[in-house]
Structures are given as structure tokens and as C-alpha cells.
Structure 1
Amino acid sequence: MTSALRDLAFGLRLAFTGHRPWGRLVVTAVGIGLGVVVLLGAATIPNVVAAQAERENARNPVAPGDAPGVGVLVAHSNMLELGQTYVRGLQLRELRPDAPVAPGLERNPGPGEVVVSPALQELLRAPGGELLRPRLPAEIVGVIGEDGLTGPGELFFYAGSDSLSPRSDRVDGVVDHFGESGQYGTTAFEPDAQLLLLLGIAVLLVPIVVYVAATARLAEAARQRRLAAMRLVGATSAQVRRMAAGESLAGAVLGVALGWLLLVLVRPAVEAAAGLGELSIFGSDLRPVWWLALLITVGIPVLAALVTTTSLRGSIVEPLQVARRTAARPRKLAWRLVPVVVGLLGLLSFGISGVSSTGGTQGFVASVVLVLVGVPLLLPWCVERFVGRLGGGSTAWQLAVRRLQMTSGTAARSVSAIAVVVAGVIALQTLLGTIGSKVADPVPEPEVTAGPLTIESGLPEDPAALERAVKELQALPGVLAAHSTESTVLASDNSRAQWTVHIADCGQIAALAAVPECADGDVFAATPDQKTDHLAGTALLLSNSYYGEADRPTPERPATWTVPGPVRPATVATTVPGNYPDLLVTPAAAAGIPASTQQVRLEVELAPTASPDLIERIRNVAAAHLVEPSTSGKAPSLGSDPKEQRDAALAAVRLALLAGALVVFALIGCSLFVSAAEQIQERRRPLAVLGAVGVPRRTLWQSLLVQNAVPMVVAAALATVTGLLIGVLVVMAEGEGAVIVDLPGMLGLFAFAAASVLVVTALSLPAASRAARPEGLRTE
């Protein structure tokens, strides 16, 4: 044990000594640190989801069960709309002084008061926020604390009220505390979405692990020469391995420490950026899962040590191979194919049988990971075989090709992570393109800029409120017409049929349907066969949820209404929404329907040139006079139809994939640059000789560009083939039909790869120019 520790300590000392050790050590630590912070960020995802679910649970109102009438009365969870933005909230009414206080508050708001989240406060202050302000109580008395929000960007409010009835069906009920674990404890993903999410995580994280492993082998040639010299002077194979492990541990441990420091430093920036959109994360929630953090903290140094000692296998067995700088033996293909073949066979089996269970999903993702891990194993062999067949050409070409033939392994490792991310993203793009083509609507619908808008709400207690709402709506610029009806949903005694009953006078009925002569007391029905004689005298159950305290139905006293006769046929206009057959009833005939069971429906005709903010003004009018109004229909600011929303969601996922790939490219670009700089450092003498004999700088620069571009071309070709194979098998497993290749997305990835080659080459030019100076020979 003492000897092993001595060897490790000697390896650590080697990392801090020698020619320019700090530059090499810092570069290794920075590369590993960047990879570690990405892995630690991924390890925080479970805790972020759990923390958001815990806060959601904490403000969930819970009924006491056996003790009604105590605590806090909580209204329906309100949902307000402002364009495409949704604002949630809870209305509270205290029934006792000791009522529990909602999470994030010092006290519950009183009647007419509202407490808003910081993001909602900013929204109300922003341009356009004044359109939402009328729908909130008059006075904002505070800001919700962190305990009452799922994230810094959540739009949420608590509002006080004194009009909520403990027995009204319009409220969630009487509660005595907040917080019910398990209510929101898990995030429900559709199977397809869950599979897509897991594949996305694998595609973006596997390249990071490959990148960390490649970073651990920076300055490998110099390390091999030093340790091979140790072997020549008498060090045993085991001692050399321990020395190599100790040297690599220095950079890996510093990199892990740097990764943790970066995670702490980026928390405020993540909170500020995530709070701007739908993604909303508190910086305090960015805590990695302990066992994942331990695995990363311990596993990365172990991985670095294993990669380093594995790379020395030739030097330990035959140290003169390094000392003489001879060409390495050709790489063998058989063992490199094992992960790819196993992964593809797994994907093929899932493609035949499908992905159904959770275990099946995990096995499917594991198969994808195996194929992705096989890419960096195959790439060195592919690069070696490709450059081995390249022949003569210009001077720059021959310089680059000869260098690649001597160090093809280093060139392949520098682009291996890029090959993995390109293969994975191509596979996901293929799946998304296939899904998008499958759900696309082949028949374009005519564009509708505006149309009828429907407002539904409970019947207000003040009979004049509905009339005032109609008048104010008609006075809004852009509103062509507005009329109202009262309705309820009824079911027959045998519950086999349901009816939407519209209560309106004859003038309103004439606007809604084609009917014969009408008088107060008449009843009309819209039926497919126009047969209505059997409806007269039918007893219908009141199935609407808007019940008051006095007429709440019970099993002993069900609420019913008998259809008066005669019932005449009517043809209902298409502007009357509803999924049930319609009964059009005049006020005298509807006398037996309790007012509190009725709801109001307003039809608003909008001008085609109506302004986009008209819908918000309509909502404000409805909120001022009606009970919990909701809007539906086509209007300028209601947003896109389901197909457009679906297409937008797919486009957003594609954009997120490209953005993630760009981030990984930027991260791996650091490794490319460092690898290029290290090779230039190792080639100081040959470059100085070329400069001394008069080789133009332009030739050296062209050689450097070819040297960076050729491995990238091979990596892109291998990644394309692998990515398409994965994509086809994933589509087969999902049963999505014909495979659609996303050519624009692939071109975008290739553009990223080409840009990385150009940027790395440009950054390497100054170092190559300095190394090519003839005076560099005097320093050797």
C-alpha cells in the first residue's frame, strides 16, 4: 500500500512539473470542469421536479372531511388569460380568525385584496398588462414568497373574497389546511413524450461523457514519452500505471472542483434566465441528487485514470515504441463493433415488438446509448482507414495527411464527441420529422382572421348585470353584434340523452334558429329527424353544476323540469355551440327551471379588422358583470388552432435540439482547440524546420485546416449513417409509419460542424505561426 501511494504521489508531482505544466493542467481541468458542470446540471433535474411538486402540493387546499364549515373557503382555482399567457390563482375567504395562511403569505388577503407573484407584478407593469388588471381585485397588497410558487416565473395570485358561499358548487369546498402530498408528486408524461425526453437526455449527455474521457487524454504523447522513459530506467508496469493514474487524477480532481464551483456560480443566472419563460426554476432547487453527485464526483477521476492507463498499454509493453516515435499497430475492428451491434439488435427487437412498458422504455433507451457509445469506438478505426488511403497532392495536403496518418487516434478523439451528438440529434430529428408528417393536416383550412366569440358564465344574481354586459360589449370598437341566452344542461330520466336548453325571448330565438311563428311560452327543439312530438311532458334532470344553496338536488329530492308542450321543430344556426341537441325555450315556458341552475351564453360577432387586444377588453367586460366567465371561439388574439399549436410545438422541440447541439458543439469546440494547440506544441521542431527552409505560412495554415477538416468529415459521415439507423429503428418501434428525414435539420448540424472547424483553425493560426519561426530551432 505504501508503495502504491508513493507511485500515485509521484504521478501527482509529475502533473505539476515538466515543460509548461500549468498550461496543460489548467486546460485539462477546464475541459473536465465544463463537462462536470453539465453532468451536475442534469443530475439536478429530479430535485428540481420534486421541489416544484412539493411547492404545488403545499398550496393545495385540503378539506377536513368530518368538520365542514371551519378554516378557509377556497374558490375554484381561477384561470385568467392574457393573449397566450395564462395566470392561475386561488380565491380565499376566512370563516374563522385562526384560518390557515396560504403558503408564501404572511396573512390571507381580505375582500378586494390580491397578493401576486413577482412575475405577475412585472407583467402588470409591462406594456399590455393594463388589459389584465381589471380582472384582479382593486388593491395589490403584497408579493407571494418563494414558498408559495413553483418557480420565479410563475404567474400566480391569491385573492380575497367575501361573497363565496360554503354550500355553493362554484367553490372547491371548505378546507382547514393547505398541503396534500401526492397530489402533484409526479409529472405525468405521455409515453411518446417520455421516450422523446429520455432520448434527448441520452443524446446530450453521452457526448459529455465522451468529451470528458477525451479531455483526460490531452498531452497524451508527452505523457507517454515521460512514462516510457520511467519504464526504460526500471519502473515496473504496475508502477507506471499508478504514476499515470496519479498524473491524470490531478487534472480530473481540479476539474471536478471547478465543475462544482461553476454550478454554484451559474445558479443565479439560471434562475434569472429560467424565470423569463415557461421554464421556471429557483436557483436553490439546483441541487444534484446525492447519489448522482457522488457518482459524478468519484466517477470522473476514476474514468480519467482508467482512460489514461488504458492508453499506455502499448508503452508499458514496448516502451521503445514511444521513445522511437514509430507508427502504432493497425487498430482492430471486431471488439469496436460489439456495442453498436448489440445496441442495433436491441433496437431492432423493439422495432418488431414495440415499446410498451416502463422496463421496455428503459431497455430501448439503453440500446440507443449503446449505439451512441459505439460511435467514438468506431471513429478511430474509420479515420485510420480513411487517411491511410489518402495519397499525394499539394504540399499542404501532404503535410496534413502525413500528420493524420501518424496521429489518427488523436484526431479521431478530438471529434468523437461531436460525432456522438450529431448521430443522436439526427435520430431525434428523424423521429420528429416522421411524427410531424403523420399528424400534419393535408388539406389546408381557409384562414379566418375573426369570427363569433362565445362567453359562458353562471347567471348573475343581478338581472340587470347581463343587460349591462351586452350593452358594454356592443359599444366596444370592433364588435359588430352581441346577444345573450340563458341555458342549462338537462338529462332524461334514463340518462340516455342530454339536452342543451337555451332560454331566450322570441327575438333572440329568431337570431339563433329558423323557427315558425314564436310567442312567449313556446318551446322549440332541434333534432336530426325533426320529430318533436314525443318530447312534450318529458321530465328532465337538471345536470348543470351551477346550483345554489336552496335548490341543491338530493337523492330524495332530485331537481327536474318537465318539458311543456307543444314542442315544435327548429333548425339551429351553426353559431350556437354545444355538443348536445338543443331546446329553445321562451321565458314563460322555462319558469320551472331554477335560476341558479342556469348559465349565460353570450354570442359576440367580431369585425374581421378587429384589433388583437379586443378579446382582452371583452374578457374585462365579462369579468365585471358575469360569474366566472370563459371565452371560446375564433378571435384575433385567441391564438392558433390545434394544428398550428402542434406544428409550433414540434418546431420548438426541433429548435431546442439544435440549441442543445449548439451548446454541446461550443463545449466540445474547446477540446478541439486545445487538442490542436497541443499538437502544435508537440510539432514545434518540425514546424520550425519547415519555416527555416522557406515553406510559406499560407501552406502551413492550409495544412492545419485540412488536418482539422478531414477527421470532421469522417465523423460526420459515420454520425449520419449511425443517426439514420437509430432514427429508422426508433420510428419502427414507435409505429409512426413511413420514415421522414429532416434534411434542413441535418444541414444545420453540418453547418455547426463546419463552423467549429473554421473557428478552431482560426484560433490555432497564431500558435502555428509562432511555432514555425526558424528561431524555434534554437530552443529545442
Structure 2
Amino acid sequence: MTTAQDWMRDLAFGLRLAVTGRRAWGRLVVTAAGVGLGVALLLAAASIPNVNASSDARFDARWGAGAAVGDGASVLVAETSTQFREEWVQGVWVQNLRPDGPVAPGLRQNPRPGEVVVSPALQEILSGPDGALLQPRFPNVVGVIADEGLIAPNELFFYAGTDALSPQSSSVSGVVDHFGEAPGHSRTTFSTDEWLMLALGLAALLVPIVVYVAATTRLAETARQRRLSAMRLVGAGGEQIRRMAAGEALAGALLGVVLGWALFFLGRTLASGVTVVRTAVFEFDITPVWWLALLVTAGIPAVAVVVTIGSLAQAIADPLDVTRRTVSRRRRLGWRLVPLGLGLLGLLAVAAGFDSVDDLPLFVVSVVLVLVGIPVLLPWCVERAVGRLRGGSTAWQLAIGRLQLASGPAARSVSAIAVVVAGVIALQTLVATVEAERADRNTPREAVQPASAEGRITGERPADAAEIGRIEQEVRSLPGIDDVQVATTAQVTGKKDPATGTLLIADCAQIARLLSVPDCRDGDAFVPAGRSPLRPGERVELVESSFGMEFRASTPPPAWDVPESVRPATVPFRFGADDIAMVLTPAAGVPAEAQNLEAYIRLNQAAPNDLSDRLRNVAAAHFADYSAWITTTGSSSMAAEEESAVAAIRAALLAGALLTFALIGCSLFVSAAEQIQERRRPLAVLGAVGVPRRTLRRSQLLQNAVPMLVATALATVVGMLLGTLTAVATNSLRGRIVFDLPGMLGLFAFAAAAVLVVTALTLPALGRAAHPTGLRTE
């Protein structure tokens, strides 16, 4: 009966085997380094949920419960934003109703009317060389927001004090005694396509790391099998051999776990504030979820022990066969297809009915099974591929003969790279298909007018004639402006058609400049011929001047009666005739709370690149809430935002994939160097009988290249299949799969470069092993 003392004695003996001898220490250090890098990356991945949860909590903390003044609100808040170049600058209006009201997160006190408190990143822009173009919108900066008030260290955000908020407005929330009481705001989320890209990319990054860790724990496996087989022959039992192997595996795994935690804390410090694809995180947010951290800490040593014991099945069952160094038995295919088959079946099920992020767990599990199936199937593929190769040059025969003798270590050394290649090809296929589909969707099917640049300013309130004149004059003074027309507008909505059209409100003097009408009197109404969906005398609902935000249930939208008498007119195209439902004079009675100011601007070819920001500065000087932009006929801002989001996700995931690729390339070098050490005796014999060094070098190159070629071929097939099934799962797919051939060629070039670099780095060790004096060390 095995006692705890027997367990401890055998484990301790295995630990001594791991640290006995100079080469043992070298293997231990290499194993610990490989495991440590994998643990650090897995801990970083385990921190992603906490990073998102912490940033979401700080975002929610900016808002109130939506209480009205009569419900005890002491502070009013409202969301606002502006744009600087290609960056959005988000902000919150703050209005104190009582001097003892709660303070917004990240502030010592709420800003008074006219004061602004900005984030460090926004402060850096304001004080930098480009700040002069943004400073007119932030004329009175009185402080900087602390970290607890920011989502990320690079966030462009501000709090602005005001006294103009109305508790009846649909865009205003009330804060009673503390911020974050009942968050009703939501951050921008990803579309279904983008969630699929993220899930596929993360799986493609994490699965190779686990495979890499498992392969690292099997370094020097041949020497370990011979050593433990010899112990089996002298009387050690099978259970004893397993416990000794477990102790030897635990030495490198436990040391690697400790090193991994140290690397994680070091990397967390270095990563704080670093911006990658416009995203940065605080150091205190990078904390792994406790149960995931426990799973990584305990799971990696467990994986090392299981993998090591599993590799000793032949050494325990037939130790004499191992010690004689005979050719291993042929691998069986059946069970190796199980993970891949289950994963593909899961993906087929997902592709048949994927319609929301609720199906993501099944999708992720299926992707993981497919990717895990690659290293499981690869040893069989390498064995069958090299088993059919015959003849060739001396270098070729030496390389193929070695692979036929022991293809397992060679297959394991490239298995993680094969997983990365498959995952990246699948991701490239998905991204290319989504981008092609969106390009088809956003391309007009009919011919359009030649592209022309136009600008527009929208203010949240009406303006009198004097202010309209000043705005028009300020816009005309900007460079690159051909023409500008400024007027008051209102948006009509309805239950059947939520975007019925625009009402243009102008006095008779403006109407005379805009329209071709014989006469005009205050109270008149004009309809673009054949365009207006409004019927005379009809009662319609208008959109409040807060840019279409939803109303409170207790506050009905403003209503307006269409005049009984209307006359046809012609509206110039440059003034947005396609949107104009009716042109009205002020006496037509459109409610003031539904009126906005609109400025339509025509640009010329001399317009500077920063004209959009100049227009925003003009708008900011007259309105608290506004929008200003420049568009080109036929362009789509939504399409541009979609392309930007997809490009950002693709860049981040591909950068991570290449980093993982480089990391695993280091393990390929270690594995190749270890195999040279294990073959030092036959290499020394070859050197003694006069085999040229260049032949041995070519043999080493081919021995690295053939498994990589087989792995790349398998990864390409699996990756294209995985990408196709993932693309089919997107709702918007129109049946056209696009493969990113240039991206694939880049991956193949990277794999070829890895083979060349690894071979070059192992040549010194090969030269020393092939020296005839190496025979005396055996």
C-alpha cells in the first residue's frame, strides 16, 4: 500500500533529477522560462474581465438617477461631446442646485458655470502644439480630473459647469446625494461581427499559449524516457515512475509559475498608460479574476504533470524498447480527429443559427476544440508525410531519416505555431469577408453626382436675426468657404414615419434670398413642389431640440399644426432640399423648444484640413450643445466608423498574434537546440567519418523546414475552414467568402523566416556536437 511517505519520497527524487547535473539545470531554466512567459500571458488575459468591469463602473459613476428637482436632486448632469480632428472628446455638463451637493468622481468640487475640468490627456492636447485649435472650446480650464473619474488614462473627457440645464429636458439626469445611483447610460458596444472577431482572435491567441506551455514541459523528453526506463528495468514500479516523473515536471512548472507571476506584475507596471490602438488601461485595473488566476496557478503545474506522465506510457509498458532507441510505434488517427470533428460540428450549429452574443459561448468552445485539434492531429500528419519520403541528397536523407525515427519532438516544436497560423488565417478570412460585405452594402447601386464637399453646423436652440447674421459672417470669414446659408429648423416626427422631414423657419428677407417666390408675408408657408409629406391642417409631433433623444414618459413631445394654406416653391439643392418638408415664416407658430439653428456650407478646393475644427469653434462660441462636420457627397460617416472599428480590432488582434508567433518561435529554437544535444553522439560519429559540415547544416535546415511545411499546410486548411464557418455565422453575409491571400503569404513568410533564424542560431551548437571529440563524452 502506497503511503504519503512513499509519495513524498518519489516526488522528492523526481525533483532531484530535475536539478542534478549542468544540463539538467539548463533544461530547468529553459522550461521555467517557457512556462513563466505562458503564465504571464494567461494572467494578463484573465485580467480582461476586471479591466472592463472597472472601466464600466467608473463610466456609470458619472451619472445620476434621473430624479427631477422635486424629487430631491441636488445636481443636474447632461452628456455632451465635441470632436477634435479624428478624436471624440466626451464631456458632462454639471449644474449645482445646492451648495452641499455631491461632487462628481475625480473632482474636488464641481465646476462653476463657465469653468471646465479636463482629463490629463485632454490637458496635454490643450497645452501642446495643436492646442490653439481646441482652446476656443475650453477657454476656462480650472483643473484636471483624477484617475478615479476616468475610464482610461488616455481618455479625452471633461466636466463643464453650467446654469442652463432644465430638469424637464430628456437629456438631463438628476443626482440626489451621490453619483452613480442608477446608471441609465451605456457605453458603445460592438456589433455581432465585431464580437465574433474578438472571440475568434482571443481564442487564437490563448490556445497557442496553452499548447506552447504543454510543449515546453516536454523538453528533453527522450532523455527523460531513457532515464526512467532504466529505473523501470532495475525494479521501479509503474506508479513509482509516474510519481518521479511528476516530481521532475513539477520542478520546472512551479518555478515557471513563480516566474510568470513576477513577469505579470512587471508587465502590468510597464503596460500602465501605454496606448495600443487608441486603448490604454490603468495599472490598478489589470488584476486577474481570482478564480481564473487560481485556475492558471494550479492548472499549469497540473497540465505539466499530466502531459509528462502521458508521454511515459511506452517507457512504463516496454522500458527495454525505449532504452534500445528503436523506432516508435505508428500513431493511430481515430481519436485524434475527435476534437477537430466536435469543434467543426459546433461551428456548423453556430453558423446555422447565430443571431446574438448569447451564442458566443458555444462559438468559443467550438473554436477552442478546432484549434486544440491541430496539435493533436499534427504528429500523425508529420509521421505520415515523412514516412513516404525516399531518396534525395545526403542532407535530405539525414533529415528525413531523423524525422522518421522521432517525428514527435519535431511536430510538438511547431504545433503552437500551427495553431497561431490557423487562428490568424481564420481571423483574416472573417475580416476580409466582413469588409467586402460592408463595402458592397455601402456602395451606391446607382450613379451619383461627382463628389463635392459640404459642411453643416447644428445648434440646439433657435437664434435671432442678429445672431444668425454674426454666425454667417464668422463662417464666411473662414478659409475655403464658397457659400453659407443659416436658418432655423425643426424636425418633424410621426408614429408611422419617425423621420418625416425638416421644417425650415426664416423671415421674409431670408426667404427672398433662398426661394423663388413672388411675395412673402409673415405667417406664410411654402412647400417644395411635390416633396412635402405634410398635409395642410395636419397635427404633427416635433423633435425636441436635444438632437432626437427620447422624451420622458411624463413629458409629451411638442406638437404643431400644419398651416391650412401653403404655396409651392423651389429650394436650392445646396440648402438640403432633399430634407426640407416645408419652409415657414416665424408666425407659423413652430414651438421654440423644437427649433434648432442650421448652417449649410459649401466648400471649395482651397478648404484647409482643419476646417472642421474651425467650424466647431464657431459653433461652440454660440451654443452649449452643437454639432459641426464636413461631408462629401456619397460618403457615409457610419460606414467610416464601422471600418474604423473593424480596422482597430484587426490591428490589435494581429499585433497580438505576431507577438505570440515570435514568442513561440523562441520555443522552436530551444527545442531545436535540445534535439541537437540529444543527438550529439550520432552527430559526432558523422563528423568523425568525414561528413561535410555544410551537409549537416543543410540537414538541420531541412529537419526544421519539413515539420514547419506540414504544420503550415494543416493550419492553412483548418484556418480557411474555420474562417469560412465563422463568416457564415454573421447575419449580414451574402454568400461570398473572401480570403486574404496577401495576409496568408505574409504568415508563410514569417514561418519561413522562423525556420531560417532558428537554423542559423543552432549552427554553433551543431558544430560543437559534430566534432569527433564529442564521442569521448559519451
Letter in 2 for 1:721: V
2:195, 2:357 within 8 Å by CA — same for their partners in 1? no
Letter in 1 for 2:771: R
> Match for residue 46 of structure 1?
49
Q: CA deviation at 1:526?
A: 2.3
Matches of 2:301 and 2:390, distance apart in 1: 41
Q: CA deviation at 1:660?
A: 2.5
Runs of 5+ unmatched residues, structure 1: none
> Match for residue 64 of structure 2?
61
Matches of 1:463 and 1:617, distance apart in 2: 22
- Correspondence list, 1:345-424, <5 A: 345-351=345-351, 353-356=352-355, 360-424=359-423
Q: CA deviation at 1:579?
A: 7.7
> Match for residue 629 of structure 1?
626
With over 3 angstroms needed to count, the CA separation of the structure-2 counterparts of 1:757 and 1:85, relative to structure 1, is same
Letter in 1 for 2:611: L
2:527, 2:566 within 8 Å by CA — same for their partners in 1? yes
With over 3 angstroms needed to count, the CA separation of the structure-2 counterparts of 1:361 and 1:681, relative to structure 1, is same
Q: CA deviation at 1:602?
A: 1.1
Q: CA deviation at 1:767?
A: 1.4
> Match for residue 297 of structure 2?
297
TM-score normalized with structure 2 length:
0.91
- Correspondence list, 1:557-576, <5 A: 563=562, 566-576=565-575
> Match for residue 10 of structure 1?
13
Letter in 2 for 1:608: Q
Q: CA deviation at 1:485?
A: 0.8
2:558, 2:593 within 8 Å by CA — same for their partners in 1? no
Q: 1:766 aligns with which of 754, 764, 767?
A: 764
Q: 2:486 aligns with which of 478, 481, 484?
A: 484
Letter in 2 for 1:7: D
Q: CA deviation at 1:322?
A: 2.0
Q: CA deviation at 1:498?
A: 5.0
Q: CA deviation at 1:497?
A: 9.2
Matches of 1:708 and 1:368, distance apart in 2: 28
Letter in 1 for 2:13: F
With over 3 angstroms needed to count, the CA separation of the structure-2 counterparts of 1:175 and 1:130, relative to structure 1, is farther
Which deviates further from its counterpart, 107-116 or 140-149? Answer: 107-116
Q: How many residues are paired up? A: 767
1:50, 1:185 within 8 Å by CA — same for their partners in 2? no
With over 3 angstroms needed to count, the CA separation of the structure-2 counterparts of 1:70 and 1:742, relative to structure 1, is closer
1:572 aligned counterpart, secondary structure: coil
Q: CA deviation at 1:13?
A: 1.1
1:141 aligned counterpart, secondary structure: strand
With over 3 angstroms needed to count, the CA separation of the structure-2 counterparts of 1:648 and 1:148, relative to structure 1, is closer
1:450, 1:608 within 8 Å by CA — same for their partners in 2? no
Q: Does 1:233 align with 2:230?
A: no
Q: Does 1:281 align with 2:284?
A: no
TM-score normalized with structure 1 length:
0.91
1:169, 1:545 within 8 Å by CA — same for their partners in 2? no
Q: Does 1:728 align with 2:731?
A: no
Q: CA deviation at 1:449?
A: 6.8
1:634 aligned counterpart, secondary structure: strand
> Match for residue 129 of structure 1?
131
- Correspondence list, 1:146-185, <5 A: 146-166=147-167, 171-173=172-174, 175-180=176-181, 183=184
2:133, 2:613 within 8 Å by CA — same for their partners in 1? yes
> Match for residue 91 of structure 1?
93
Identity %: 56
> Match for residue 662 of structure 1?
658
2:197, 2:649 within 8 Å by CA — same for their partners in 1? no
Letter in 2 for 1:758: L
With over 3 angstroms needed to count, the CA separation of the structure-2 counterparts of 1:255 and 1:603, relative to structure 1, is same
1:284 aligned counterpart, secondary structure: helix
Q: Does 1:197 align with 2:193?
A: no
Which deviates further from its counterpart, 360-369 or 202-211? Answer: 360-369
Deviation digits for residues 49-88 of structure 1 (CA, Å, limit 9, x no counterpart)? 11011111111123445744641122x3110101110111
Q: CA deviation at 1:581?
A: 5.1
2:330 aligned counterpart, secondary structure: coil
Letter in 2 for 1:765: L
Which deviates further from its counterpart, 122-131 or 706-715? Answer: 122-131
2:119, 2:156 within 8 Å by CA — same for their partners in 1? yes
Q: Does 1:585 align with 2:584?
A: yes
Q: 1:718 aligns with which of 709, 714, 720?
A: 714
With over 3 angstroms needed to count, the CA separation of the structure-2 counterparts of 1:52 and 1:22, relative to structure 1, is same
Deviation digits for residues 370-421 of structure 1 (CA, Å, limit 9, x no counterpart)? 2221111111111111111222222221221111111200000000111112
> Match for residue 101 of structure 1?
103
Which deviates further from its counterpart, 413-422 or 769-778? Answer: 769-778
With over 3 angstroms needed to count, the CA separation of the structure-2 counterparts of 1:474 and 1:160, relative to structure 1, is same
With over 3 angstroms needed to count, the CA separation of the structure-2 counterparts of 1:193 and 1:561, relative to structure 1, is closer
Q: Does 1:434 align with 2:437?
A: no
With over 3 angstroms needed to count, the CA separation of the structure-2 counterparts of 1:709 and 1:506, relative to structure 1, is same
With over 3 angstroms needed to count, the CA separation of the structure-2 counterparts of 1:530 and 1:3, relative to structure 1, is closer
With over 3 angstroms needed to count, the CA separation of the structure-2 counterparts of 1:252 and 1:500, relative to structure 1, is same
1:473, 1:482 within 8 Å by CA — same for their partners in 2? yes
Q: CA deviation at 1:672?
A: 0.3
1:493, 1:539 within 8 Å by CA — same for their partners in 2? no
Which deviates further from its counterpart, 485-494 or 434-443? Answer: 485-494
Runs of 5+ unmatched residues, structure 2: none
1:306 aligned counterpart, secondary structure: helix
Q: Does 1:34 align with 2:33?
A: no
Matches of 2:557 and 2:256, distance apart in 1: 72
Q: Does 1:616 align with 2:613?
A: yes
Alpha-carbon RMSD across the aligned residues, in angstroms, is: 3.1
With over 3 angstroms needed to count, the CA separation of the structure-2 counterparts of 1:282 and 1:448, relative to structure 1, is farther
Matches of 2:277 and 2:330, distance apart in 1: 52
2:63, 2:185 within 8 Å by CA — same for their partners in 1? no
Which deviates further from its counterpart, 182-191 or 412-421? Answer: 182-191
Deviation digits for residues 197-248 of structure 1 (CA, Å, limit 9, x no counterpart)? 2222212111111111100100111111211121122110100000000000
Deviation digits for residues 677-697 of structure 1 (CA, Å, limit 9, x no counterpart)? 101111222222333333322
Letter in 2 for 1:292: L
> Match for residue 597 of structure 2?
600
> Match for residue 307 of structure 1?
307
With over 3 angstroms needed to count, the CA separation of the structure-2 counterparts of 1:461 and 1:633, relative to structure 1, is closer
